[in-house]
Every structure is written in structure tokens, then in C-alpha cells.
């Protein structure tokens, strides 16, 4: 293997330790802790496991954490009223509605009902606009792109003037990371290309990338010959390609995860690469915690 492995699990620990320390200091000085509510509608197994991990992480950091689980048949009006209640609750600084929502609920309406100053997911149009403007305007960068940027910065990869190619144009990853990498500032200032399903020659663009960020949701899409030798490859794909017995409990089946990049071959060509799992994945919840801490700091005027 020639590439340096970018270990999200280790970088997560670095950042969580920093947050934990800050929470302690703020509690001592101001007598408050960050408050995060996670609203879960229905019983989607993947959503339950994400929310459980979010709550566990918040607890470990000394946050006030509230898990508000509602049945799948909750009405849209009831859900909007619930969000309104947390918008008005001074002890809550971050509101997260776990997606996806049941079909009878308008997701856009729900996300737009969250107070933009408590929107720690960064999905509200006000925060999307702030991200586009950049600089001091940005309050809550969306968590997965913010995590990607931290991985790049903390691995010492040069971004200024770098050719960044983003594969995928989702609202959650592709579009925001492209905007973030082109802004002036730390871990950015890059020349950005976004490629997607209508792009004529994916390989051509990927081969130009000093930093290749892949968020396509297609297992093994990026082939080793698409990678420029020495490039930094960030694989955002988390594709369930089968099941295997758990190492901890062989009677339990766990998903086999595969990224969007052919990791085994790519690691011989890239300069840096993220594994799946253990690369980008652990960063999303970490940045959610950071955003919740930032929300409290904005409120206290100490950000
Ligand atoms: N579902 C999958 N990823 C996310 C996320 O980052 N935020 C929310 N709210 N729901 C999700």
C-alpha cells in the first residue's frame, strides 16, 4: 500500500476531545451546556442506529440530549408543532429531524420549520444561503461535507489551488462540498469540478483530480485507472452489498459495507485515501456535535 490511510475514527477522537474540553469550560464559566434534540419518526432500522449513536455521543460530551421518538403515523401538523416547541425551548441549541420521513410528511416543510439558528444539520435554506456566501456568514456547515474538509485539513493535504473533483451533486454532500472547497479560506481555495450522471467522460475528469471526493452511491464506481498518482481520495459511499456474521456475536448478521471507490486497487495509486467503513462515516456525527456546540457559542456571543 502506498497511500496514507485517512482514519476517520482517529480524527473523530481528536475533535471529540476538543469539544469535550470546551463544553467543560463553558459549563464552568457560563453554567450552561449545549442541548441537542433528535426527533425520530417511525422505526427505520438505519435511522434508529444513527440516532442512538448521536445520542450516545452527545451524552459522552456532557450535552443535554433529548431523544424524541414519534410513531410513523404522526401527522405533519403534530410534527410541525413539536418543532415549534423546541424552537422556543431555551435549553435546546440544536434540532435534528432524522431523515427520511414517512411519505405523508412533506420533508421540505419540516426542515424549513426549524429555526435556522438551531439548524445544526445545516439543511435550512437560510443556512444553505449562508454557506454559499461563505466566510463569517457560515453558521452551520452541513455535517458530512464539514467532516470531509476536516479530514483533508488534518491530514495535511494542500487545498489551495488544488484541482478538486466532486462526483455527485446531492444537496447533502456533492453540492455543499463543492461550494465549500471553492471558497477562500482554510482547507479550501481550490478549483472545483462537479461531475454527475450526465457527465460524458467521468474518467477524464477524475484523472485530473488532486483531491477526488466521491459521493455517488454506486459501489466500486471509481476504478484505479481514474486516479491520479498521489491524489487524495475521499470516499463518501456507504453501500450495503450483503450481510455477514458479526465479529462480536456470530449469531447476529451485520451489513457488508463497500465504498464508491475500488479501495484495494486505489490504495496502491493514491497518496491519501479514506477507508469504508472508518473514513468519512465517523465524521458526520462528530461535526453535528461541533455545530451544536457552535450554536450555544453563537448564543453566548463567544464564537
Ligand atoms: N439521514 C441520513 N443522514 C442524515 C443526516 O445527516 N441528517 C439527518 N437529519 N438525517 C439523516
Measured by CA distance, the residue closest to atom 1 of ligand 1 is 99
- Which cell numbers in the block locate residue 129? 444561503
User: What distance in angstroms lies between residue 35's CA and the mean position of ligand 1's atoms?
Assistant: 18
- Which cell numbers in the block locate residue 140? 452551520
- Rounded CA separation 69/71 (Å): 7
Catalytic positions, please?
54, 98, 121
Cα radius of gyration rounded to whole Å, the chain: 20
- Rounded CA separation 187/122 (Å): 19
CA atoms within a 13 Å half-sphere pointing along the CA-CB vector of 179: 22
Unique residue bearing C-alpha cell 488544488: 162
Residue 146 Cβ inside 6 Å of ligand 1? The answer reads no
Measured by CA distance, the residue closest to atom 4 of ligand 1 is 99
Measured by CA distance, the residue closest to atom 11 of ligand 1 is 99
Mean pLDDT, all residues of the chain: 97
Residue 192, strand partner residues: 164
What angle do the packed helices 8-30 and 143-154 form, to 10 degrees?
Answer: 110
Provide the whole-model pTM.
0.96
pLDDT at 221 over 70: yes
Residue 98 Cβ inside 6 Å of ligand 1? The answer reads yes
Read off the pLDDT of residues 40-53 as tens digits, 9 standing for 90 and up.
999 999 899 999 99
Our mutation pick for probing the ligand 1 site, out of 98, 285, 288, counting the most ligand atoms within 8 A of Cβ, is 98
Show the DSSP H helices in 114-232 as ranges.
Answer: 125-133, 143-154, 174-182, 202-207
* H/E segment holding residue 294: helix 281-300
Confidence band for 1, pLDDT divided at 50, 70 and 90: low
- Which cell numbers in the block locate residue 84? 415549534
142-170 residues labelled b (16+ CB within 10 A) or e (exposed): bbbbbbbbbbbeebebebeebbbbbbbbe
Residue 291 Cβ inside 6 Å of ligand 1? The answer reads no
- Rounded CA separation 133/42 (Å): 36
Read off the pLDDT of residues 242-300 as tens digits, 9 standing for 90 and up.
999 999 999 999 999 999 999 999 999 999 999 999 999 999 999 999 999 999 999 99
Confidence band for 169, pLDDT divided at 50, 70 and 90: very high
Contacts of 45 (CB under 8 A, 6+ apart): none
Count, residues in the chain: 303
Helix, strand, or coil (residue 30): helix
Q: What is the mean pLDDT of residues 24-28?
A: 98
Q: What is the mean pLDDT of residues 198-218?
A: 98
Q: Residue 279's Cα: distance from chain center in Å?
A: 11
Amino acid at each position: 500500500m502506498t497511500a496514507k490511510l485517512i482514519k476517520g475514527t482517529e480524527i473523530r477522537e481528536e475533535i471529540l476531545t476538543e469539544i469535550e474540553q470546551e463544553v467543560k469550560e463553558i459549563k464552568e464559566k457560563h453554567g450552561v451546556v449545549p442541548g441537542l434534540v433528535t426527533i425520530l419518526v417511525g422505526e427505520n432500522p438505519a435511522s434508529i442506529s444513527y440516532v442512538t449513536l448521536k445520542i450516545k455521543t452527545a451524552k459522552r460530551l456532557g450535552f443535554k440530549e433529548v431523544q424524541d421518538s414519534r410513531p410513523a403515523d404522526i401527522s405533519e401538523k403534530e410534527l410541525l408543532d413539536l418543532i415549534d416547541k423546541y424552537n422556543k425551548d431555551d435549553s435546546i441549541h440544536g434540532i435534528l429531524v432524522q431523515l427520511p420521513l414517512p411519505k405523508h410528511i412533506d420533508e421540505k416543510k419540516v426542515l424549513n420549520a426549524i429555526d435556522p439558528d438551531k439548524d445544526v444539520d445545516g439543511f435550512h435554506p437560510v443556512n444553505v444561503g449562508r454557506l454559499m456566501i461563505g466566510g463569517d456568514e457560515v453558521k452551520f456547515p452541513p455535517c458530512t461535507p464539514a467532516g470531509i474538509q476536516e479530514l483533508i485539513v488534518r491530514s495535511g493535504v494542500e487545498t489551495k489551488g488544488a484541482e478538486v473533483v466532486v462526483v455527485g451533486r446531492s444537496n447533502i454532500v456533492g453540492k455543499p462540498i463543492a461550494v465549500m472547497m471553492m471558497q477562500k479560506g482554510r482547507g479550501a481555495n481550490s478549483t472545483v469540478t462537479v461531475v454527475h450522471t450526465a457527465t460524458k467522460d467521468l474518467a477524464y475528469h477524475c484523472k485530473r483530480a488532486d483531491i477526488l471526493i466521491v459521493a455517488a452511491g454506486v459501489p466500486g464506481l471509481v476504478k484505479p485507472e481514474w486516479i491520479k498518482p498521489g491524489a487524495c481520495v475521499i470516499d463518501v459511499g456507504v453501500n450495503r452489498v450483503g450481510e455477514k456474521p458479526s465479529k462480536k456475536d456470530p449469531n447476529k448478521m451485520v451489513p457488508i459495507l463497500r465504498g464508491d471507490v475500488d479501495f484495494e486497487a486505489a490504495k496502491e495509486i493514491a497518496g491519501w485515501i479514506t477507508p469504508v467503513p472508518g473514513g468519512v462515516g465517523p465524521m458526520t456525527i462528530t461535526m453535528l456535535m461541533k455545530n451544536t456546540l457552535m450554536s450555544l457559542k453563537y448564543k453566548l456571543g463567544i464564537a
